[in-house]
Amino acid sequence: MKVNAMNLNLATVHNPQEPVLPAQRGSNIGRLLLDMGKITPENAERVLRLQKESGLRFGDAAQQLGLITEADIRQVLALQFDYPYLQAGQGNLDPELVAAYQPFSTEVEALRALRSQLMLRWFSEGHRALAIVSANAGDGCSHLAANLAVVFSQLGEHTLLVDANMREPRQKGIFNLSQSHGLSDILAGRAGMDVITRIDSLVDLSVLGAGTIPPNPQELLGRSTFTDFMNQAIGIYDVIIIDTPPALHTSDAQTIAARCGGVVMASRLNQTRLADLEFLRRQIDLTGAQMVGAVINDF
């Protein structure tokens, strides 16, 4: 992922599938490695002997003995510093969530850089909601929205990701949501805020799927119930990231942008046409929303 500065005025022992509990954070490395099932009590004794003989730190001694890897050390340090991420296969989430599974990759570094800019230039000014928009399907709008929500939650911000693409939603699949009701059901008066799903394997992240695919998504977004929903969400969450449908074929994204007040535009390297981006920008300008930033996806 490349971040374009344009307009940047724009865990039970031996069960790695379970997340480490908050009370375990801040524990020493040896205890965490035991709790995560990375080493056995017998291994720990070997490490302690080497540590006493050599003066090495526990993690370095365990690594020298070949009991753990550098990746294990990174995971434990992340827990100590309250920066949660997942190992491959943990959490039953889609590998597309690189911010959760590959936190030290260049793509996630770019996401964190974008997060910093958005915190400074948008959320620190009192705004809570941000729409992620794109011109076409395949430009990476849902990918960006999902991963951006994860990195905001890793910062400790109480984050809500909303799938407002009620035509071809993706977030239910990405986060493996079991809840069938979602945004459309709230807007139609068929459900309440209790259908929002807390993602237990990621701290401070909740997701609202698109819900039942409606015949009238544009009309639902135009109702006062959407404004009511946003007002409720703003009163609960620090950061609200909204995934939107492609803007060239519907006006859903424009309606959402107007309500959020701010937009990040996603495009795809060597795929999105400049003319489409110019059209999208003009449409966003008409809503009165601010183009806070732009991202070029090259995944």
pLDDT tens by residue, 178-229: 999 999 999 999 999 999 999 988 889 999 999 999 999 999 999 999 999 9
Most confident of 29-38, 89-98, 248-257: 248-257
Residues counted in the chain: 299
Pick the CATH number of 91-297 from 3.40.50.300, 3.40.109.10, 3.40.640.10, 1.10.1740.10: 3.40.50.300
Mean of all residue pLDDT scores within the chain: 88
Q: Residues of the chain with pLDDT > 90: what percent?
A: 68
Higher pLDDT, 256 or 80: 256
- Work out whether strand 205-208 and strand 129-134 pair parallel, antiparallel, or are unpaired: unpaired
pLDDT band at 12 (very low <50, low <70, confident <90, very high): very low
The arithmetic mean of pLDDT across residues 60-72, rounded, is: 87
pLDDT of amino acid 23: 39
Residue 211, class by beta-carbon neighbours within 10 Å (0-12 exposed, 13-18 middle, 19+ buried)?
buried
Question: So where are the chain's domains?
Answer: 22-83, 91-297
Q: Which stretch of 33-37, 138-142, 204-208, 245-249 has the lowest confidence by average pLDDT?
A: 33-37
Least confident of 28-42, 71-85, 89-103, 178-192: 71-85
| Residues 191/185, Cβ–Cβ less than 8 Å | yes
CB 263 within 8 A of CB 145: no
Give the CB-side neighbour count of residue 11, counting CA atoms within 13 A: 28
pLDDT at 9 over 70: no
Least-confidence region, from 7-16, 47-56, 121-130, 252-261? 7-16
Using 50, 70 and 90 to split pLDDT, how confident is the model at 82? Answer: low
- For residue 21 the two structure tokens come to 């509990």
For CA atoms 239, 245, 247, 250, give the dihedral sign: negative
**Token digits of residue 108:** 């996630």
Rounded to whole angstroms, how far apart are CA atoms 115 and 24?
A: 27
Question: 């990759």: which residue's tokens?
Answer: 105
pLDDT (tens digit, 9 = 90+) per residue, 142-177? Answer: 999 999 999 999 988 999 999 999 999 999 999 999
pLDDT for res 71: 74
pLDDT at 103: 86
Report the DSSP pairing between strands 262-268 and 290-297: parallel
Q: Is the model's pLDDT at 20 over the cut of 60?
A: no
pLDDT at 272 over 80: yes
pLDDT at 36 > cutoff 90: no
Residue 15's pLDDT band, with cuts at 50, 70 and 90, is very low
Alpha carbons 92 and 86: distance in angstroms, whole number: 10
Reported confidence tier of residue 68, pLDDT bands at 50, 70, 90: confident
